[in-house]
Structure 1
Amino acid sequence: MKNRKLANKLDQFLEIHQFKDYCPNGLQIEGRESVQKIITGVTASQALIDVAIEENADAILVHHGFFWKGESQEIVGMKYKRIKALIENGINLYAYHLPLDVHPELGNNAQLATLLDITDRRPLEPWDKRSVGRVGKFEQPISPEQLSNRIETVLARAPLHIDGGNAEISSVAWCTGSGQDFITIAAEQGIDAFISGEISERTVHIAREMGIHYYAAGHHATERYGVKALGEWLAGEFDFDIKFIDINNPV
């Protein structure tokens, strides 16, 4: 498939024009015109680019690409080396941030909810159907320790749990990656627990004082599954050669 045609299909499927994001979504670095072999991964790091070069891939598809708001605009140092490697090897770079977080089937939030058996999913912010934060429930109440164990089993890493005081958890809200600040909205709605990727010092006090369990499960760990699912969808729909590469990241 032509690289621009692939970009158009992904842009439309993920409805990128519905979002105001912190980075451009879609084709960020243009490479060779024809795309058949695609490497997928969470972040367009040098390690992922090196794998794509070794695999002679035509494209890389990621959740975290380049050109974030607030970063230096100069293409020097680490950024230069990454972009140089892509251009010299003719590798297209496609990146989808918020559109991949919120997609109702393949998005990071949807995939995490499926893995954790969360049902009755809806936007955490009821006035915004594209709310990045989500809320749902478990079919049967579980203890805080059971939820920790479930997260560890699914993500293959132990979450950091801040005890919110309730003995059982029925309702749960979540936002993958750096969505920790949705915890206040969740607590105000009386939700029992909140799951995200990262944690800051302030989040500990919010959880304790507002009485909501908080689980920091890892930015990378909670966002592996959206881009992996998107790649599998591409392979099924268009017969691309897709390979997901998980570059280990403890954060």
Structure 2
Amino acid sequence: MERGSVNRDEFAKYLEQTLDITRFRDYCPNGMQVEGRLQIKKLVTGVTASLALIEAAVEAGADAILVHHGYFWRGEDARVVGPKHKRLKLLLAHDISLFAYHLPLDMHPTLGNNARLAAQLGLEADGRFGENDIGWLGVSADPATKTVGDLACLVEVRLGRAPLVIGDPAQPLGRIGWCTGAAHTMLGDAIAAGASAYLSGEISEPVVHLAREANVAYLACGHHATERYGVQALGAHLAAQFGIGHEFVDIANPV
């Protein structure tokens, strides 16, 4: 079956509307960050626009790359030198567009990182917390997941890595808060919202003490590991919408 194609600018417009990107004040530009060829037949998705991902996209014959972590972050060195030069040079040399969506991809109600992590772990959301309601709150839908230790085991199986657990594994699971990536600073918001366990990607030294003193379990499951699923779901959605090819490339990252 012949692969379809979509106009690059039509593709960008569809993503702008689907992810409602204009409502966010973000740390980076959301949308097309690097302009490539006009027609997109093959899309590669990944978590971060690293050199390794770009090389894989070139090998796959991609016309466009879509990621969660793109370029041009607030406060970074604006010069196109070193690794940034290598990445941009490779994209431009092969006329590949780069699309990146940060907070809009975290927060989408069905395709976003929090939504897809919930689906991966069998969590049912019934509330939100934090700035812009970015954090999700709910319960486990699996009757076999009764304790913090059960949830940690499930994370290891479903995400392919053992989480760092702060708290008693035997503690019964009550309300669960979650927010993917570097959302460790939102533990206080999760506690205020009524969570007895909180799951995120990263952890910091002060968070350990807060979790212990509040008697709230904290599961640090990996920034990369928790944010692999939204971009895959979005890529599959775009492939179905436009009839284009799609390949998710997982560049291993222990963080």
Residues 1-251 of structure 1 aligned to structure 2 (within 5 Å): 1-125=6-130, 130-139=132-141, 140=143, 142-163=146-167, 167-251=171-255
Q: Secondary structure at the match of 1:170?
A: coil
Q: Secondary structure at the match of 2:39?
A: coil
Deviations 1:149-170 (A, max 9, x none): 0111110000000006872012
What amino acid is the match of 1:103?
Answer: H
Distance in 2 (alpha carbons) for counterparts of 1:138 and 1:41 = 28
Distance in 1 (alpha carbons) for counterparts of 2:183 and 2:152 = 18
The answer as to whether partners of 1:231 and 1:242 remain within 8 angstroms in 2 is yes
111-120 vs 83-92, which moves further: 111-120
What amino acid is the match of 1:132?
Answer: I
The answer as to whether partners of 2:149 and 2:170 remain within 8 angstroms in 1 is no
Q: Secondary structure at the match of 1:169?
A: coil
Q: Which TM-score applies when normalising by structure 1?
A: 0.95
Query: Number of matched residues?
Result: 248
Q: Which runs of 5+ in 2 are unaligned?
A: 1-5
Q: Which runs of 5+ in 1 are unaligned?
A: none
Q: Report the Cα offset of residue 111 of structure 1.
A: 0.3
Q: Report the Cα offset of residue 86 of structure 1.
A: 0.2
Higher relative contact order (CA 8 A, sep 6+): 2
Alignment-derived partner of residue 3 in structure 2: none
Distance in 1 (alpha carbons) for counterparts of 2:107 and 2:178 = 12
What amino acid is the match of 1:137?
Answer: V
Q: What do you get for the CA RMSD once the two structures are aligned? A: 1.3
